[in-house]
Structure formats: C-alpha cells, structure tokens
Amino acid sequence: MWRETIKERIARINTSLTQIDYNPGRYIAIEAQPTPDADIRDFQSELRACTEGALTGSDDAQYSEAKFLQVRQIIERLRGREGLSEQDRRWAAKVTDVRYWFVFAASERWREDHSEHEHYSDSGGKSGGQKEKLAYTILAASLAYQFGLEWGAVRSRSFRFVVIDEAFGRGSDESAQYGLRLFAQLNLQLLIVTPLQKIHIIEPFVSSVGFVHNEEGRTSKLRKLSIEEYRAEKARAAG
C-alpha cells in the first residue's frame, strides 16, 4: 500500500516538474527504482513467498504448514530473536520502512520529445551548484503539490507560507536566485532569515525587511522597513 502511495505521489510531483524549465527547453522527472539493498530485497522475497498461492484456496496440509513456518520465521525476527535482539531491531527498522525500498534519481529530459538529456543520481558527482539547483527544483514542485498551487496563478485565499533559514545563504548566488524565481512563480509567501548574506539576491523578491540587532549580547531590537525604505536608506549610506 505505502509503496503504491509513494509512486502515486512521485507521479503527482512529476506533473508539477514538467511545468518548470530546469534548463531552456528541458525539465526534470523523478525516477523511483527498486533498492539494491540485500536485506530489503530478501525481506520482500520472503513476504512474496508467504503470500504466493494464498488466493488459490488450497487446503493441502503440507502447503499450509510450510506457509505457517515462513510467516513465523519473519515474525520472530521482527520481534527480536534471543541473543540477536539489537541486530534484529536495526534490521526491522530498515526493512519495514518503505522509504528505503526505493533509490531515487532525476532525469533531465527535452520538452520537445521527452528524450533524456542527462541522468542525476547520488553518485553522479555533480557540482555543488548543480545539486542545489536540482534540490530547489524538486522542492518547488513538492510545494506545488502540497499546497495545490498552479504556476503563475495568484490564489489570494490559499495558505502558502514558507520559511527559509540561514542555510539558504550557504549556496551559490546563481542557485539561490533560481530558487527564488521558482518560489515567485508559485506566489509563495516567503520569510527569509539570513545573517546579512545574499541580500542583493533576496532584495528583488521581498516587500519588507525586518532588521534584528543585538549589541553586545543584550536585548535584541527589531526594526521593520518596507523594501522602498530599505533601498532609500541603502542609497543614502552609499553616499
């Protein structure tokens, strides 16, 4: 059930991803592939062995006994066998979490004919900027799915508030600007928290600024400015 749910949600996110130009004329699609992890694959095989033939209605006593023993073996390990309880606990936590049943990759495809231009995986060795751009793209598509948003459509009654913390400032200027453009296309309401980093990138995408100052570790003070007031003060300070 959960495996099918994950596949359905990826399909919905991919619908949003097709509306984003990752590069001119190209978009990103997420691919979910079966994990190569031996523990998980063995567990899945054992589950299939327990259910194979279950719908045939066989009353064969030998068949029923074999199935019972297969099920009991799995249950005993899930509960934790004597002397192996910690090992079995770690095993159970991994094999029963369906998020680990997949490995995910991204396919960059041409919009014209949907042919693949490039394939991205965890071991792809892409640069930091490329990874950031890919992460922003998938995040934006996920937000579109989560909030039920349409690209470029203003939905004044929808709640679409997103908080971005100081980790935003650690990436490249190019990827940060790309992410903010995507969020603007979704008309997201952004609160960006930054320790005076990437102000020149953020400025075109915000309507007001809250400046927090804490001198010598004493009481913090907040000053709120409209973006116009901020720009005017910045111009005066520049001389």
Q: Averaging pLDDT over each range in 90-94, 122-126, 164-168, which range is the top one?
A: 90-94
Q: How confident is the model at residue 39 (pLDDT cuts 50, 70, 90)?
A: very high
Pairing assessment for the beta strands 161-164 and 116-120 based on DSSP bridges: unpaired
Half-sphere exposure of 220 toward its Cβ, with a 13 Å CA cutoff?
Answer: 4
- Report percent pLDDT > 70 for the chain: 87
Q: Assess if residue 190 is contained within a domain.
A: no
For residue 155, being part of any structural domain is answered with no
Q: Is the pTM of this model over 0.85?
A: no
Q: Is residue 114 a part of any domain in this protein?
A: yes
Distance CA 18, CA 114 (A): 10
Burial tier of 45 (Cβ tally within 10 Å: 0-12, 13-18, 19+): exposed
The candidate with the shortest Cα–Cα distance to 19, out of 187, 150, 110, is 150
**Residue 51: inside a domain:** yes
Is 11 domain-assigned?
A: yes
Rounded Cα distance between 152 and 140, Å, is 13
Q: Is 58 part of any domain?
A: yes
pLDDT of residue 168: 74
- The count of domains in the chain is 1
Residue 119 falls inside a structural domain: yes
Structural domain boundaries enclosing 118? 1-125
The band of 98, judged by pLDDT with boundaries at 50, 70 and 90, is: confident
Q: What would the pLDDT profile of 45-93 be if each residue is shown by its tens digit?
A: 998 888 776 555 555 656 678 888 888 999 999 999 888 989 999 999 9
Q: What average pLDDT does this structure show over 158-163?
A: 79
Q: Report if residue 223 sits inside a domain.
A: no
